[in-house]
Amino acid sequence: MGNLMGGSTGDKPESTKVVAPDGACEEAIAVFKDKFKSAPTIVVAAPGRVNMIGEHTDYQEGFVFPIALDRKCVIALAPTSKGYRIYSREVKDTLQVDTLPEQPQDGDVPWWSYVVGAMRIYCDAVKKPLPEGFDAVVLTTVPLGGGLSSSAAVEVASATAMEVAVGVSMAPMEKAVCCQKAEHEWAKMPCGLMDQAISCCGRAKHAMLLDCRSKQPSLVPMEADDIDVLIIDSAVRHALVDGAYSTRKNQCQKAVEIVQKKHPKVTMLRDVTLAMLEDAKAAGEIDDETFRRASH
């Protein structure tokens, strides 16, 4: 891909970056034609990511260093006069409704929550109504449950589809924040900003150093011939909403609250030194597991 940021192959707002058409885009168009017997007028894509360093630091306002992948989510869409049909190639299921859900669903999170949530939150943010209706195909080459941020790719592609459909853009990092909000509210996942940020702001042949406190990204060239990044499938499926992620996030926040008692200026783990943690452990204020989580 020439440009890894979510974009469109059709008419687009000026700030929307174009994603070069490739096999995944062409496949999404073919699936759309087969499913809906017409051609899409908007085709957008957003990449997955791999993180080089900085695990569990984004939600504590630390630093992360991800790179965008050429694996991506593609959405092919065509506005209609009324009603909504959204087909997922991977799930092999269609959401067909007269009105898109306005609130997250109770209980298990359905696949379409990532799509509808990002679309609704984006349109709310730019103060535009959703299109009166549309047909859409969602296709992804980011492995589901592989720890490569397939959910963020879906959210960013969904928001980008609305960016093009309603004709109003926003800054890439603002779009990332909208997609993070969708993950929090519609997917019930209290994630940090890294995944959505790299999907919105990533560039080919670059990594991105993101300061999660200021939300300022810095692109770092990775064009040297002697640099190769290997991603190995461990065959362990990744399901953040199962609870382990939230547990670690809560443990980190617990450590912050303990340290704050003696250091009130501390607001996030970013502000905590190892000496502060060791003092709290020596005083018996922090348990061993919480200490390990925070010090890591």
Instruction: Give me the active site residues, please.
Output: 195
Long-range contacts for 233-238 (Cβ within 8 Å, ≥24 apart)? 233/143, 233/146, 237/145, 237/146, 238/145, 238/146, 238/147
Q: Which of 67, 72, 46 is nearest to 227 (CA)?
A: 67
Token output for 120: 């609704």
Neighbour-count burial for 220-232, b at 16+ CB within 10 Å, e otherwise: eeeeeeeeeeeee
Long-range contacts for 289-292 (Cβ within 8 Å, ≥24 apart)? 289/251, 290/251, 290/254, 290/255, 290/258, 291/255
Q: In this structure, are residues 77 and 135 in contact, taking their beta carbons and an 8 Å threshold?
A: yes
**CA–CA dist 232, 157 (Å, integer):** 25
Helix and strand numbers (H, E) in the chain are: 8, 9
CA angle 204, 205, 211 (to 5 degrees): 85
Question: HSE (CB half, 13 Å, CA atoms) of 216?
Answer: 1
Residue 127's contacts (CB-CB under 8 Å, 6 or more residues apart) are none
Query: Which amino acid is it at 248?
Result: R
